[in-house]
Structures are given as structure tokens and as C-alpha cells.
Amino acid sequence: MMDNQLLARITLEPGKRGGKPCVRHMRITVYDVLGWLAAGMPQDDILADYPELETADIQACLAFAALREQRMVRLAA
């Protein structure tokens, strides 16, 4: 079970960034953070480049992605 306080850092607002999940009502999306991590950007560099982010925000993005993956429906080919 994911920590609800951690997941509460991810917000959805229809008028912001096309309704994509964002970090704490900011314009930084979960996908932005995941993309930076996937590209090999170290967490410390992300936090230095985006000082409004906190370590828990990055953890929340990872938790959100893990939960979304867990909820995906698989279709047989």
C-alpha cells in the first residue's frame, strides 16, 4: 500500500498542463520528473535545477507511477 501522504503531493487540475498529474499544484508534471530520471538525471541535479521541488516530491512521482502501473489492465494479444 502506498503512503497516502506521499500520493497527496500529486494533484490533478483540469486547466493546468492539460489535466496531467502535477507536483503540489505546480506546473511540473509527474511525467517531467519521470522523464528526467529516465534520462539519467541524478535526483540531486533535479532538486538543484528546480528548487521548488523536494525529495518527497520525486518519491511521490515514483509512487504515483508504480500505482498507475499496478492498476493497468492487461489485454491478451
Our count of domains for the chain comes to 1
Give the total residue count for the chain.
77
The model carries a pTM of: 0.86
Q: Which range marks the domain in which residue 52 is found?
A: 4-69
Distance CA 67, CA 52 (A): 24
Provide the 3-class DSSP secondary structure of residue 11: strand
Q: Is residue 77 part of a domain?
A: no
Q: Is residue 9 part of a domain?
A: yes
Q: pLDDT by residue for the chain (77 residues), tens digit each? A: 468 899 999 999 999 999 999 999 999 999 999 999 999 999 999 999 999 999 999 999 999 999 888 776 666 66
Q: What CATH number is attached to the domain comprising 14?
A: 1.10.10.10
